[in-house]
Amino acid sequence: MLEQQLKSIKVGIINDSNLMRKYISDLISVEGIEVSLTATDGENALTKVFRKKPDVILLDLEMPKMDGLTFIDEMTKKGILIPTIIVSSFSQDGSKLVLDALENGAVDFVTINQENGNDKELQDSLVSKIKIASNSDPIHLIKNKICSLKPNKKRISGAGASERLIVIGSSTGGPGTIQKVLSELPEEIPAGILLVQHMPKEFTKQFAQRLSENTGFVVREAKEGEIIRDHEILLAPGDYHMIVQPDKKIHLDSSEKRFGVRPSVNMTMVSASEVYGSNLVGVILTGMGHDGGFGMKSIKKRGGHTIVQNKETSVIFGMPKAVIDLNAADFILGLDKIPSKISEEVQNLIR
């Protein structure tokens, strides 16, 4: 056990910029982390990765010869499943590429902006994500990859607010997992759906668009004051807590982070439980940390129904485990069984 604790996490850095490789290497060279290989592009990296097998890969997306997306795909074809974090200086316009990478098997991403001068914050983020990724299981991301798109179907909303609500929370590994769950829900599920994914503000709009394209539901970022309606899916915008108000309208809150995150799953679930009571289904999917545990406890205490993803299918079992540790999980299920259970529990809710 002691040997395992003292063993360094071996990291591979794949980036075509000499300056960026050195910059990243200097940032992550702390106790417990060792840079074991560097490469200038995906093609150059494949042989090195196969030979040295690092614990985590930090991958740029836009590179010559072989870009990051192709590299992830080639690793998968060769059976090399190493947790990969996208590390790039992409702008908001590049967020589509990031979502592609997350769908194809990347575990997480970090935005680098050397102009902001906050090396300490970036270092803390990188080191934390490397440690999380080293304990993840990317095989679940590959298994859950969705290859075909469903048609985007316009929803017709009723005039009133939803009487039943589903709140889904996730973090690391969540984008592809949420997509799979929504893809398998019935098109006319009689409830509103709120999504809380730990994701920076630059990416939530694109993530909502991606979910709309891939699931058949209309998904959008929530707006201040809008009403929760059946068949509509609202995503918490990055950097805002999404609060359910007594009149079943959304309030976007920029108060302090909870468990180091904003949006917080807890904030949405606790407020939703106070409004919807027993007419609420809470779902916690893959993710690191404890966010959502207290929220699910609140849902259960008020007579709602709670579902968590099991360890065997989670990329990271932190958030689901937090719910289980609080005895707040009614159902602990594999990812393939969660959509049908959500549907079943919604039908069982009291109108």
Mapped onto helix, strand or coil, the DSSP state of residue 88 is strand
Tally Cβ neighbours within 10 Å of residue 260.
11
Active site residue 171: yes
What contacts 139, CB < 8 A, 6 or more positions away? Answer: 81
Cα–Cα nearest to 138, from 72, 59, 201, 195: 72
Tokens of 74: 């080639």
- State the Cα angle at 29 between 25 and 32, rounded to 5°: 140
> What's the sign of the alpha-carbon dihedral 109, 112, 118, 124?
positive
- The DSSP code sequence of 282-334 is EEE-SBSSSTTHHHHHHHHHTT-EEEEE-GGG-S-BHHHHHHHHTT--SEEE-
Q: Which of 36, 108, 134, 198 is catalytic?
A: 198
Which residue bears the tokens 């689901």? 320
Q: What is the CA 155 to chain-centroid distance, rounded?
A: 25
Task: Give the Cα separation of 17 and 43 in Å (integer).
Answer: 15
Which residue bears the tokens 């059976």? 79
**How buried is 40 (Cβ within 10 angstroms: 0-12 exposed, 13-18 middle, 19+ buried)?**
middle
Q: Which of 95, 134, 170, 171 is catalytic?
A: 171
Task: Give the Cα separation of 323 and 138 in Å (integer).
Answer: 22
Active site residue 95: no
Active site residue 198: yes
Cα–Cα nearest to 24, from 119, 149, 138, 132: 119
Q: Which of 291, 298, 314, 343 is catalytic?
A: 291
Which residues are known to be catalytic?
171, 198, 291
